[in-house]
Structure 1
Amino acid sequence: MVNSEDFTKRIEKIMGFYELSATSFADKIQVGRSSISHIISGRNKPSLDFVMKIVQTFPEVELYWLLNGKGNFPPVEEQKISKNENAPSAPILEEKVIPKKIKSQQHKEIEKVIVFYTDGTFDAYHS
């Protein structure tokens, strides 16, 4: 059985990731706005139809994670940096999933990349 409180937290995480209000989230998954309100408030439990609309609308959301909280959202892919014998060991970088609305802007060229380090220093790379 799905824990309603935990399910609500996962819905809020999805809305935060895609920067959606409850109203825009309801519109996006094509459910009534009151459905979202009732689920978030704990008044109603999500129906199977409701859950499936989320998974179909947002393919990055894994069904098992949505229902049970096991797995990752957003999905994380680890990318290992090649090691050089003279260089210190490099950390594993996490690649974040880019929302679809940002992917459509990928035709733009990168002008500058700034890397901030935990010691307060930074490196700037220009194209």
Structure 2
Amino acid sequence: ADDAVMVQVRSGRVEAGAAGRSRALGAGDALRLDGTGPGIVTHPDPAHPDPTQGLGWLDGRLVFVDRPLGDVLAELDRYLPGRILVTDPAIAARRVTGNYRLDDPAGSTLALAAVAGAEVTQITGRLLILH
């Protein structure tokens, strides 16, 4: 995500870190790494209170509870061979909950837009604009 990476452990133990500093993580733990070194270990990841949510991508799903639509679309954008843009900050701030397949990110985006009451303009199938 931008200039950081999130490490989340499904099972077992992992040492994660950067710049010569690391932390031990166990099942359900999460750690954000950025240029400043290891972040704070969370139990569980606050963005995914259920440890299985943050790891849903392993099963081809995006699972989220009460998250800003803009954050969810940023995750979906990683799977789309194009871009997703949201032109209205109020739409991006709307809180959503869902469980969507990652093999159809455009379809998931359209479904989320409908739930959020946003309109979608598609340009050449590679650009989705929510407004």
What's the TM-score, normalizing by structure 1?
Answer: 0.26
- The structure richer in strand per residue is 2
- The structure richer in helix per residue is 1
Name the structure, 1 or 2, with higher relative contact order (CA <8 Å, separation 6+). Answer: 2
Highest Rg: 1 or 2?
Answer: 1
